Amino acid sequence: MFARTERLLLRPSWPEDAQELHRAIDDEAIVRNLARAPWPYSVDDARSFATATQPVLLPNFMLMLRTDGAPRLVGSCGLGEHNGETEIGYWIARPYWGLGFATEAGRAVVRIAGALGHKRLIAGHFTDNPASGRVLRKLGFRSTGQVEQRHSLGRGQSVASTLYEKELAPTEGEDRPMRSSFEHDMSRYLSELRAA
């Protein structure tokens, strides 16, 4: 599954992404804010991520900056499962912090989640990472007012995490013709998968 935004191509990971993925995420300041990434983050960890099979309804995307030359890896954004609910998560490589890429990619993934039939998304950020909370609010998530302890593999301990949620409405304020076309393409794709 692929998607495009103004500056990014969102695409699945491929085995040949492992080296570039490792270079982009091998930064303790990134990994410490993720629940599932280990620290130190090895090339083998990158290879495992790049080659992992992903459920059709929980896609994860490499965020590739569209350039005149070879695209550059900006980060990753996708859907996962946490406590039986669909969760959005993301990270951005340090050279691209503060440039709006997490918000841009997050908007695309929220649209994809709706087209896949998800009715609600959850998210969270460690309380010492308020920048992630600002991204979630820009994406229309609202704080639940709850804080939970969530294990961070990179930190090797549980950390306080602020929880957010977003109901996905059919119109969502998005551009309806584009959304309808995307939903049509996604519906056809899912039908073909089920028939295979």
Among the four given CATH numbers 3.30.450.20, 3.40.50.720, 3.40.630.30, 3.30.1390.20, the one describing domain 3-195 = 3.40.630.30
Scanning the structure block, which residue is given the tokens 């969270």? Answer: 124
Exposure of 144 in the CB half-sphere (CA atoms within 13 A):
15
Q: What is the pLDDT along the chain (196 residues), one digit of tens a residue?
A: 899 999 999 999 999 999 999 999 999 999 999 999 999 999 999 999 999 999 999 999 999 999 888 889 999 999 999 999 999 999 999 999 999 999 999 999 999 999 999 999 999 999 999 999 999 999 999 999 999 999 999 999 999 999 999 999 764 444 444 444 455 555 555 555 455 5
Distances (CA, A) of 61 to 5, 145, 187: 13, 29, 19
Domain ranges of the chain: 3-195
| Whole-structure pTM value | 0.86
- Residue 157: CA count within 13 A, CB half-sphere: 3
| Token representation of residue 181 | 């076309």
